[in-house]
Amino acid sequence: MATARLLAQLIRQGFPEATAKKILSGELPMDQASRMARAKEQGYDLDTDWVHVNRGGIVGEGFDDARLPSRDPDAPFNAHWLTTKPTPSTAYRGGRDGDTYTPVYLSKEGHGQYRDARPDMDANPYLGGSDMREALKNEGHRSLLFEGRDPIDAAELAEKGKTTFRNARGRKSTLKNDVYRFGGEEYPTVDLYEGGEHITGYEDLPDFEGAAPEKGTVAVLDPSAIRSRYAAFDPDNAGKNTMMGSARPDMLAATASGTAGATGLMAKLIKDSQDDSTVRAPKNPKTAMLATLLRDGERAVEGSPAEFVYPSGLAPWLERLAYDEKPSKLETAMAIADFM
């Protein structure tokens, strides 16, 4: 009876029945080391923890192209978006509680760098987002890095006060050590420039690296390239378009202890999955919603004259308040400056 219940639970968690039976028989060990070894053999990038954010988690067996919008406001094609840095504005678009993120791994096969598809769209105004996605897939792309950058030379920044790098789109950018003066006080900052134009400032280098990670956002064109971080990675299912299960931590522990006996490894997996499987809800949802609206407005005016007068310093300050965190002195100063 216990085995039947475990089998039913594994199937409900998204594992195919054949895979679930192999898990329970011991043919497919579910300890962390065994699962990661199979994932590596199947070509998944285990060095980057990608996250998919949406409302209510993944519906059905996996990512479904039919659920994508016909057009995406942020890109010339539609795609399944993954990020390495979930933010309040990403996780709580619209300010709703209960939104979740799903930790996943991405296949290395067919993963490419940024591909500017806007000229294609401009040349054919009747080309829809899905058409462009299929065209990119026909070029051999399964996923494309959409937002990212080169590594930052921290030593050069410390020694010379500035360093240059290129983002995923090939644009040359510069980071400079600077000082922000307000109210008779000085705040050290690290400022970002593109083409000689000042873009924004950060408290320090870690603040910039957190806001703009090396691998920031990826557009997944072929959902079969995605697997749940807690999948079984059954070799018989390699290349299929499904998440292939994502068992609860206690289920993974039960199956692992019965098949591989890796108690220590599973204890770590349980802790990791408990830490990674939910997004913290804001203490003040209305404040979070206001911050999100300001972030959306900031993206809308980017590159236009309105960008220079937009209150861009207010959103980070409101996000801190939304999560019941104390804003830094610099964040407070920037928010106050927006009203002056």
Q: Using one digit for the tens of pLDDT, what is the confidence trace for 69-109? A: 776 666 677 888 888 876 544 433 333 445 567 788 999 99
Tally of domains in the chain: 2
Q: State which of 184, 211, 238 marks the end of a domain.
A: 211
**pTM of the complete model:** 0.61
pLDDT value of position 59 = 55
pLDDT value of position 211 = 77
Among candidates 43, 116, 111, 121, which has minimal Cα distance to 82? 111
pLDDT value of position 301 = 67
| Whole-angstrom distance, CA of residue 301 vs CA of residue 295 | 10
pLDDT value of position 16 = 80
Residues in the chain with pLDDT values less than 70: 1-3, 54-62, 71-75, 86-100, 118, 121, 125, 241-283, 285, 296, 299-305, 307-308, 339-340
Q: State which of 225, 243, 276 marks the end of a domain.
A: 276
Which DSSP letter does residue 171 get? Answer: -
In this structure, what token pair is assigned to residue 263? 């108690």
Q: Are residues 190 and 228 in the same domain?
A: no
Among candidates 104, 143, 65, which has minimal Cα distance to 233? 104
Query: Residue 204 domain-assigned?
Result: yes
pLDDT value of position 53 = 75
Q: Are residues 179 and 230 in the same domain?
A: no
Q: Are residues 84 and 193 in the same domain?
A: no
Which DSSP letter does residue 61 get? Answer: T
Query: Residue 235 domain-assigned?
Result: yes
Query: Residue 262 domain-assigned?
Result: yes
Q: Are residues 155 and 20 in the same domain?
A: no
Q: Are residues 266 and 197 in the same domain?
A: no
Q: Are residues 29 and 136 in the same domain?
A: yes
* Torsion 126-168-229-101 (CA) sign: negative
DSSP bridge pairs for 173: 165, 194
| Whole-angstrom distance, CA of residue 40 vs CA of residue 142 | 18
Q: Are residues 45 and 106 in the same domain?
A: yes
Q: Are residues 138 and 206 in the same domain?
A: no
Query: Residue 308 domain-assigned?
Result: no
Provide the residue range defining the domain that includes 101.
2-148+217-276
